[in-house]
Structure 1
Amino acid sequence: MDTFQLSDSKRYLQRLGFDDKPAPTLDTLHRLQQRHTAEFPFETLSTLLRQPVPIDLASVERKVFEQGRGGYCYELNQLFLALLQELGFEARGITGRVVMNAPEGTWAARTHRLSLVTFDGVRYITDVGFGGMVPTAPLLLDSRDAQFTPHEPYRIDVQENGYLLRANVAGEWRPMYLFDLQRQEDIDYTLGNWYVSNHPESPFMGRLMVARTGDKLRKTLNGNSYAVHRFGQESERRTLTDADELIDLLEQEFDLRVPPRELLRPAVMELLG
């Protein structure tokens, strides 16, 4: 089983609103996951800049805590799993295939990382690294019912080769990702991360995606399209046309400490066309 050691779990827990180590309970897991998606943004600034994305734990901790950044699934779920294990949760990493916005029946590459947590034989999936549709609560694996979270309802369907996570968006059960419980080793994450951060056909290469949750809202940035989705209300959307305006938004709305502007501005200007 994959096990990791955080350099400073106290700092991590304080960012999540805990002064002391909480007990490894389902209630704690709910609180940790909801706070994590609000505190640590999903972001692809590194792949926009075509920079390496190391996923060893020390590199991820340095990026998030010292550089003031977020990350994507191979970073955020790696970090979260290390915290869960240190707190005494029975947890391990698993992987999946993203099919969001793809036709039903699509079989995509295995490029998503999440975690399986077990309480006395009862299994849940937990995920803090799925962009603008990240679940904000753990989901009971062996239930086919709709499961409510602080944001959208989710449902887990059984498939021939594993499971399919769906989210209810605008009254429609849309596919998010396929996953299974196959044992994973570091090399499996390394291969998936290499594809995501290097392969020319990766949807992350040269693309900017940022997401963060809040109280009954989600903030998303896809390229130069910024949206605030408030539940029960019309979404607020605007298109950004100025590089510095977009960089300001990264700092102010997503609380990111961005790379130097002279490095980031040319990539953003290319993004804006």
Structure 2
Amino acid sequence: MPEDTFDTNAWLHRIGYAGSRAPTLETLRALVAKHATAISYESIDVLLDRPPKLALGPLQQKLILGGRGGYCFEQNFLFRGGLRALGFNVTSLQARVVRGLPIDAPRPALHMVLRVDLPEGPFLADVGFGNLAPTAPLALCADVEQETPHEPMRFIQMGEELTLQSKLGEKWEHIYRVVSLPRVDGEYEICNWFTASHPDSPYRNNLIAARPGPDGTRITLFNARLNVRHTTGEVERRILDGIDEYRDVLSETFKISLPEKDLASALEIIEHRGTRGPPHPFFA
């Protein structure tokens, strides 16, 4: 598949969308929800020392035709390609992740997000933030609580940046600060190389997968720990044991098609290098 060609029909079939293709807010809402629930967040290639390729050809082969998921750069590169193919006006941005950290934590901008400009105003679209990716486009304005198919979300001002927050139970928790300066793809290549290559990157040492589930649930896999969080705040926890359980959960719960040899290699790596104890705060 050519590097710069986007197969719109294949993408829409993959995410199960058959509605209007007009570049409207209604269409965007449906596309965000469908993509986020159909293509799981996962970073297994990074764990296997295969830095992802950020080009439309390889991304479509992997995420659309290959039955795999991807992490933020892969997911939002692919989603951006789909939106632009449908005629949406999309600007590429970055964000500083502050999940589990103080709101003003001095964080690098290592997360990719998208701004979609519509007659109703600018909206954030992000299908690549693991267990808290917004499942609806969010108006880029401060101090307005916004409903999604999952948690209520809002932005609050933090200097020149907007901080995305999610309401978990009765508490608003920080997710990331959006940097409004448009980015070029070369900057994502640098960030992708860093997050996929740095020895202390959580993705290089842990098996991570996440997807929004039905009825507002959030499903997260961090090494052996499988969590299903409900809108009430209640969490169902399960510890996976053995390759058969991992295979079943990845294929049935996350809809990830992974060759047996890759799964065996991933389990061997996390046995030696995986985080012990509580999960990484970004994926808690």
The TM-score, its normalising length taken from structure 2, stands at 0.89
Is 1:9–1:83's contact at 8 Å kept on the other side of the alignment? yes
Q: Which moved more, 1:238-247 or 1:17-26?
A: 17-26
Q: Following superposition of structure 1 onto structure 2, how do residues 112-127 of structure 1 map, counting pairs within 5 Å?
A: 112-120=111-119, 122-127=121-126
Matched residue, 1:220: 220
Is 2:43–2:203's contact at 8 Å kept on the other side of the alignment? yes
Amino acid across the alignment from 1:43: E
Q: Following superposition of structure 1 onto structure 2, how do residues 72-83 of structure 1 map, counting pairs within 5 Å?
A: 72-83=71-82
Q: Following superposition of structure 1 onto structure 2, how do residues 97-246 of structure 1 map, counting pairs within 5 Å?
A: 97-120=96-119, 122-216=121-215, 217-232=217-232, 234-246=234-246
Match status 1:253 vs 2:253: yes
Matched residue, 1:266: 265
Aligned residue-pair number:
269
Q: Which moved more, 1:109-118 or 1:119-128?
A: 119-128
Q: What's the secondary structure of 1:205's corresponding residue?
A: helix
d(CA) in 2 for partners of 1:33, 1:105: 28
RMSD: 1.8
The TM-score, its normalising length taken from structure 1, stands at 0.92
Superposed CA deviations along residues 142-162 of structure 1, whole A, max 9, x for unmatched, are: 241111111001111112131
Q: What's the CA shift for 1:262?
A: 2.5
Q: Structure 1's 21 and 106: CA in aligned 2 closer, same or farther, altered over 3 A?
A: same
Question: Unpaired segments of 5 or more residues in structure 2?
Answer: 273-284
Q: Which moved more, 1:17-26 or 1:203-212?
A: 17-26
d(CA) in 2 for partners of 1:233, 1:102: 20
d(CA) in 1 for partners of 2:57, 2:265: 29
Amino acid across the alignment from 2:123: Y
d(CA) in 1 for partners of 2:131, 2:176: 13
d(CA) in 2 for partners of 1:7, 1:71: 17
Is 1:244–1:265's contact at 8 Å kept on the other side of the alignment? no
d(CA) in 2 for partners of 1:121, 1:23: 15
Is 1:243–1:272's contact at 8 Å kept on the other side of the alignment? no
Superposed CA deviations along residues 179-234 of structure 1, whole A, max 9, x for unmatched, are: 11112111101011011101112221121110112222221101111012232373
Q: Which moved more, 1:187-196 or 1:159-168?
A: 159-168
Q: What's the CA shift for 1:21?
A: 5.4
Is 2:96–2:108's contact at 8 Å kept on the other side of the alignment? yes
Q: Structure 1's 13 and 171: CA in aligned 2 closer, same or farther, altered over 3 A?
A: same
Q: Structure 1's 272 and 27: CA in aligned 2 closer, same or farther, altered over 3 A?
A: same
Superposed CA deviations along residues 54-104 of structure 1, whole A, max 9, x for unmatched, are: 111111111112221010110010111111111111111111111111234
Q: Structure 1's 109 and 203: CA in aligned 2 closer, same or farther, altered over 3 A?
A: farther
Percent identity among equivalent residues?
Answer: 33
